[in-house]
Every structure is written in structure tokens, then in C-alpha cells.
Amino acid sequence: MNIYYPPQFWKNKKLLFGITGGISAFKVAGYVSHLVQAGSDIQVIMTESAQQFIGKNTFSALTRKPVYTDLFESGEKILHIHLMREYECFVVAPATANIIGKMAGGIGDDLLSSCFFVDPKKVIFAPAMNVDMWHNPIVQENIKKLIAIGVRVIIPSSGNLACGERGEGRLPEQEEFLEALYYLLCSPQPLQGKKVLITAGPTREYIDPIRYLTNSSSGLMGCSLAAAARARGADVTLIAGPMSVRIPSGIHFLPIVSTQDLKTAVLEQYDKTDICIMNAAVADYRPSNISTVKIKKQGKSELILNLIQNPDILSELGRRKVSQVLVGFCAEDGDIVTEARQKLQQKNCDVMVANQILTGESGFEVDKNKAWFLNKNGEMIDIPLMSKMELAEIIIDQIGAFYFS
Ligand code: C5P
């Protein structure tokens, strides 16, 4: 499972979870368990009907503290005020049509709905319900009303619903849910409103209809960069060849196959881009002819492929650069920093990130990377071996600090 948030992000986070009466309440037990293990302080409150779907004891065992259900149970403290002051956000998941309606309509008749009125800006809703209920105009109107006063929403995903129907209304799976929460809680957001274009993964250069030349790039580094940029407020477009990793949520995704497809797609986006990060492991050569039929052995003891050079997209982007911040990646096994410095200049980039490859623990197909971050002012940061998600955050923060602070 690929996760596009740094696990340490959750350490010491104080999160209040409100669970209402929907079948997907069982999924929240998984989220809570993960967050507690990652070091968060989680307090759960439940409505009466939530307890029809999952027991209080499940959450008190997972959080190692009592679950609150009653507005009047705390004694000396006014519970809803105390909880909303104490915790940094209030995640209502699943949020039923009923709780959404109560909050939009100003009804606070139990602990959970009363918490909402203390500080709506701390509230994050994750609606989950039947597809027709979700598309009911009253529900949609209520959601708009809540967003207008600063409530944040994790939009439900599409798929099979517990009622047997299909459509929008599912509570997102754990990795997507936590990714969405990471995006909402990440602060500051220096790239708010910036358009970021990222390329990732390998390209495929077909030889015949079923065979191709490629490389072992998984796409993990590019996807991690996309999530880190999204978490810092950017509007992210990811262009990528066939990857072996999950695509992060909340971004625009444009699939491509060959280097020439990549060039067309990137050039289409480039003019409206503020930051362009070329992380794709692009094939430098492609077969000069693609056979339209499967190449047969037919007694041949050898097969010679003629290859021609692919366009160098990064150099082309360097030539066309107006105000974009252009970031290249290079994977090297020799004198990494010298080569990266030369490429930074030759390709007219603003930043070059050099990766160490062929060490076994860094680079392609592994989840860690060792890198050097170089900018065109001649500054360099030597970044130690770390997870690609942690490295992605450092790279995006450096770009933000250098160009957008
Ligand atoms: O020159 P080199 O291939 O090492 O440069 C790597 C950088 O150039 C990466 O950012 C990669 O995405 C990009 N690239 C490209 N077009 C190519 C080859 C690489 O844009 N044909």
C-alpha cells in the first residue's frame, strides 16, 4: 500500500472524531487505529444511532480512553465547549444526511451536534450515504451552506454501496481518507492557488503491438511530489506513464504511454503552469519503426532494433520558459553533483534534483531516496537517505521557500 503522507505528520496531532449512524462507521475504527499508532491523540464521540453500527468499546479500546456520547456526562466541564477548545479539529465521519441537515439548520440536540456550533471552522465532514441521498438537493444545499461558513468536506468516493447500489456515497478507503485529511490539515500552504505540473513514472516505447522498451521507475517519487504539492495548497496535474503505484487523490491525472505522448501533454499544460517538475524517467531512445504485427522468430538467431533519439522535453521546456519554475531530476551513478550542475545550466532549469542510483537502497523501485537539491544560484542541499514522501516534502518546501515566500 502506498501512502502519500509522511507517517510522522500524525505524531502529537489532537483530533476529535465524531461518529454518526451510518454503516461505514466500521471503517473509522481502522482510521482511528492507524492514527493512534502513528502517535495522534484521538478522542471519539458518538451519536445514539452510531452505536447501532459499532460499539463504544471498540473505540475506547483503540484510543485507550472513554468515548463520550452524552452532552451532560462530564460533571464540572461543559463538555462540548471543552472538547472543541482542546482538539485541533473535529472530524465527523461518517457524516449522515441527518447530521449535515442538523448543522446546516442550526440544531444542536446532542453532544456531537452541539460541538459543531462551538467552532464550525474546526469541523471536517466526511459524508457517507446512499447515492440518491447524497444527490438529494437538500443535502447538496446544506453542504454548500456549511462550506460557506468555513466547514471543510472530504467528498465521498464512488463504488459499491452497502445498500447494494452503486455510485457516489462511499466513505473513502483508509489511505485516501488519511491523505485527504493530510491535505486539509497541512499548514502553512505556501503554494495556494499555484498550478504545479509533475511528470512521473516510466515511458513505454513500443517495438510491436505487445512488446516495448521501458525502465523500472515505479512512479513513487513523482506521486509523492504530487501529494506534497497538493498538501501545500497547489492545484496539481500529474502526467505519467504506466506506474506500479497508486495515484494520489485530489489531483488531476493525465495518463500517457510514450515519450512523444508525454511531450504533447506537457506542452499543452506548460503555459498555464507556475511550477513544472519533470520527474518522469523518460526513455532517451525509441524504435525507429514500430512493427504493426507481432515480430516472429522465424528462424532468425538475432534481432537488431534500430533506435532513434527521443526529444529532450526538459531542454525544450527550458527554451520555452517564461516565468515557470522549472525543476529537473537526474539519476546518476558517477560524479552526481558535477553532472547535475551541468544539466541545470544546459537545460536552463531553476532547480535540479540529483538522485543516487545503483546503491540498492536509493533510487528506482525502492521507497527511499538519497538526493542533492541544487538551484541556479549555485546553492546545494545534501539531503540524506529518507523515504520518498519525506524527500518530496523537503523538495516542495525548498521550491516554495525559494520562489514563493
Ligand atoms: O539528461 P537526462 O536524461 O539525465 O535528464 C533527466 C531529466 O530530463 C529528467 O528531469 C527527465 O524527466 C528529463 N528528460 C526529458 N526528456 C528526455 C529525457 C529526460 O525531459 N528525453
**Measured from the CA of 311, which atom of ligand 1 is nearest?**
21
For residue 248, what is its C-alpha cell? 494520489
Residue 382: its H or E element: strand 380-387
Q: Do residues 253 and 238 make contact, with C-beta atoms less than 8 angstroms apart?
A: yes
Query: What pLDDT is recorded for position 358?
Result: 60
Q: Hey, whose CA ends up nearest to atom 4 of ligand 1?
A: 330
How far is the C-alpha of 261 from the C-alpha of 313, rounded, in Å?
Answer: 11
Q: Characterize the bridge pairing of strands 252-255 and 195-200.
A: unpaired
Which residue's alpha carbon is at the smallest distance from atom 8 of ligand 1?
A: 314
Whether the predicted pLDDT of 356 surpasses 70: yes
| Interval between CA 403 and ligand 1 midpoint (Å) | 22
pLDDT band at 362 (very low <50, low <70, confident <90, very high): low
Express each pLDDT in 240-258 by its tens digit: 999 999 999 999 999 999 9
Sheet containing 195-200, strands listed edge to edge, beginning at the edge strand earlier in sequence: 252-255, 235-240, 195-200, 275-278, 325-332, 351-356, 368-375, 380-387
Helix (H, G, I), strand (E, B) or coil at 116: helix
How many Å lie between the centroid of ligand 1 and the Cα of residue 358?
18
Residue labelled with grid coordinates 519503426: 289
**Which whole number is the average pLDDT over 126-139?**
97
Segment 57-86 shows an average pLDDT of 91
Residues labelled catalytic: 163
From 128, 265, 144, select the one nearest 197 (Cα to Cα): 265
Please choose, from the candidates 366, 27, 357, the residue with its C-alpha nearest in 3D space to the C-alpha of residue 177: 27
Name the percent of the chain lying above pLDDT 70: 97
Q: Which three cell numbers stand for residue 154?
A: 472530504
d(CA 122, CA 133): 25
Q: How many residues does the chain have?
A: 405
Which residues are paired to 353 by β-bridges?
329, 373
> How far, in Å, is the centroid of ligand 1 from the Cα of 307?
17
Q: Among 239, 282, 341, 349, name the best residue to mutate to test ligand 1's pocket (greatest count of ligand atoms within 8 A of Cβ).
A: 282
Residues framing ligand 1 (Cβ under 6 A): 199, 259, 278, 280, 282, 284, 310, 312-314, 328-330, 343
Q: What is the distance in A from the centroid of ligand 1 to the CA of 211?
A: 23
- The DSSP H or E segment spanning 30 is helix 25-37
Q: Which of 263, 310, 316, 330 most suits a substitution to test ligand 1, by most atoms within 8 Å of the C-beta? A: 330
The average pLDDT across 169-182 equals: 97
Query: Any idea of the CA torsion for 140, 142, 147, 153, to the nearest 10 degrees?
Result: -60
Residue 199 CA: nearest ligand 1 atom is 12
- Which of 261, 314, 374 to mutate to test ligand 1, by most ligand atoms within 8 A of the CB atom? 314
Q: How far is ligand 1, taken at its centre, from the CA of residue 390, in Å?
A: 23
In the three-class reduction of DSSP (H, G, I as helix; E, B as strand; rest coil), residue 10 is classed as helix
CB-neighbour burial class of residue 186 (10 A; exposed 0-12, middle 13-18, buried 19+): middle
Q: Which domains does the chain have, with CATH numbers?
A: 7-185 (3.40.50.1950), 195-404 (3.40.50.10300)
Picking from 181, 198, 238, 138, the residue whose alpha carbon sits closest to that of residue 28 is: 181
> How many Å apart are CA 218 and CA 363, to the nearest integer?
10
- Position 150 scores a pLDDT of 97
The whole-model pTM stands at 0.94
Distance, in Å, from the CA atom of 355 to the CA atom of 364, rounded to the nearest integer, reads 9
Beta bridge partners of 95: 127
Compute the mean pLDDT over every residue in the chain, rounded to the nearest whole number: 95
pLDDT-derived band of residue 67, with 50, 70 and 90 as boundaries? very high
Bridge-based pairing of strands 14-19 and 89-95 is parallel
How many Å from the N-terminal Cα to the C-terminal Cα in the chain?
34
